[in-house]
Amino acid sequence: MSNLAFRFLTAAIGVPVILAILYLAPLWGWYLLCGASMAVAAAEFFGMTHPGDRPGQVLGTLLSVGVFSLLCYTRFGETRPTVMLFAVLALVPLALLFALARPRELPTALPRTTALVFGPLYVGAGMAALAALRTVGTGTQGAGLALMTMMIAWFSDTGGYFAGKNIGGPKLYPEVSPNKTWSGGVGGVLGSMLGAAFAHFVYLRELPLVPGLLLAAAAGVFGQVGDFCESALKRSAGVKDSGGILPGHGGILDRVDALLFAALVVYGVCRAGLLQLG
């Protein structure tokens, strides 16, 4: 089967499960799904930054779970902001103490310690924003916003793929991602806006159309930046995919790299009161 066929098959199996948990399960079920996905993505991230270092991979994944859980519990500091702040700042001494406890690994202590601080924030915060979106608004509005955010990220990927393949043109950032083009970038933004328009007309009627389209364009651009950032990390680690858990898609981190950034944009706009649902 072609890579594209594998992608569609994986989506056909995964999307109904995601929708069922998002709309039908209790809030903790949605948190559990986001948290489990985040934990796998974190394990893939630390597999790249700590190759052959099982203790470092385990600690990094556990710290990511802690950051995710804390941000969900406090809703990014909406409740218990001091607890959230000091717990996040504790990442630094914990990572340094772990380096001190392993004198044989001191030659690579700097990059490994940096990864232990950066990784939980990179993976944990974005997925926590997606999880917390379900608490926004009333009724099923939060679930609709979370679904719209996923559509913004994934429609961007699809729009960019088809625009780049059929139009082509100058490369967007060949040093990091040699196959992506400017036409693909524009197609990705249009795909993100299509996702917001679909939400407005189908399942989130309370979403104002023009602000929703503008939000989708901004989140889509940031999502593409997230895609490039993960590509840069993979190039640095010398790997093609972060993992192989999803046929045709690579790893979980490969699937959520754009979503991590897009979710932070959408949740931040909602928390700031810049998007009013009708």
Instruction: Sketch the domain layout of the chain as residue ranges.
Output: 3-271
- Over range 198-214, report the average pLDDT: 97
Tokens of 41: 């993505």
pLDDT at 247: 60
- Could you tell me the pLDDT band of residue 202, with boundaries at 50, 70 and 90? very high
**pLDDT at residue 273, as a whole number:** 92
pLDDT exceeds cutoff 60 at 2: no
Average pLDDT, the chain: 92
pLDDT of residue 98: 96
For 4, other C-beta atoms within 10 Å of its C-beta total 10
Look up residue 40 and give its amino acid. Answer: V
Q: Is the pLDDT of residue 243 over 90?
A: no
Contact 91, 121 (CB under 8 A): yes
Whether the predicted pLDDT of 142 surpasses 80:
yes
**Residue 137: CB atoms within 10 Å:** 19
Q: How confident is the model at residue 168 (pLDDT cuts 50, 70, 90)?
A: confident
Is residue 1 pLDDT above 50, yes or no? Answer: no
Supply angle C-alpha 23, 121, 41, rounded to 5: 60
pLDDT at res. 13: 79
Identify the DSSP state of 246: B
Q: Give mean pLDDT, residues 175-195.
A: 94
Q: Which residue has the tokens 């979980």?
A: 252
| Average pLDDT for 244-261 | 84
For every residue of 15-53, DSSP letters joined together read HHHHHHHHHHS-HHHHHHHHHHHHHHHHHHHHHHHSTT-
Summarize the confidence of residues 195-203 as an average pLDDT: 97
Is a pLDDT exceeding 90 seen at residue 128?
Answer: yes
Average pLDDT over every residue of 234-250: 81
Kindly report, residue by residue over 49-88, the tens digit of the pLDDT: 999 999 999 999 999 999 999 999 998 988 889 988 998 8
Can you count the helices (H) and strands (E) in the chain?
10, 2
